[in-house]
Amino acid sequence: METIEISGILGLTALVLLTLNILLGIMLSTAYKQSAYWQKLPPKIKTFKIIDIHNYTAYFALVVVFLHFIIIPLDPSSKFTFTHLLYPLTAPHQPIFVLLGVISFVALLLVIITTQKVIKKKLGTTTWRNIHVISYATGLLFIIHGLVMDPLLKDRPIDFIDPEKLLVEACALLLVAAFVFRYKYKISKK
């Protein structure tokens, strides 16, 4: 297996983890424990601490995303260097979409850093919550990045029925549905 293929697998893994993480975050931002669906779940499932799962998926996703892009320059056929990761607009393949991936990584890092207890306390709940809303934009960025980037870095056109792209599309649909649900929830509480 080539390094580029491993990077692609890591990217898809990160996509699934980040989608799950955002879904859990939306769940936490609503009164999910009062929902009829939550009440019908077996008691064993209700003992899971959703906040812990949300936090661990974020940390794990951060590591996977970091590995996803840090190993690309290790494959000479990619024509990427570590400089391209710092200055993505100079990337040899699809620089705009590489930039979206880098912005998504930086936004994820910002959200995770500001969620640390010491920093969150200094920021205050309102500021922290406003920063945390970046997650929605981050979701959009990593979906676009995953959908448009050619996993073999050969600048091929998008194959929307490729299994990898179908996974990205499924995550996109889940996130759109969750964003709509969250928006409707917020409106209903006003």
- How confident is the model over 98-137, as pLDDT tens digits? 999 999 999 999 999 999 999 999 999 899 999 999 988 9
CA geometry: angle 135, 137, 141, nearest 5 deg: 110
Backbone angles phi, psi at 160, to 5 degrees: -65, -15
What is the per-residue burial (b if ≥16 Cβ within 10 Å, else e) of 93-107? bbeebbbbbbbbbeb
pLDDT of residue 100: 95
Confidence of residue 38 (pLDDT cuts 50, 70, 90): confident
Confidence of residue 20 (pLDDT cuts 50, 70, 90): very high
How far is residue 151's CA from residue 56's CA, in Å, rounded to a whole number? 27
Give tens-digit pLDDT for 142-167. Answer: 999 999 999 888 899 999 999 999 99
pLDDT of residue 103: 95
Confidence of residue 77 (pLDDT cuts 50, 70, 90): confident
pLDDT of residue 37: 85
Residue 190 has pLDDT above 80, yes or no: no
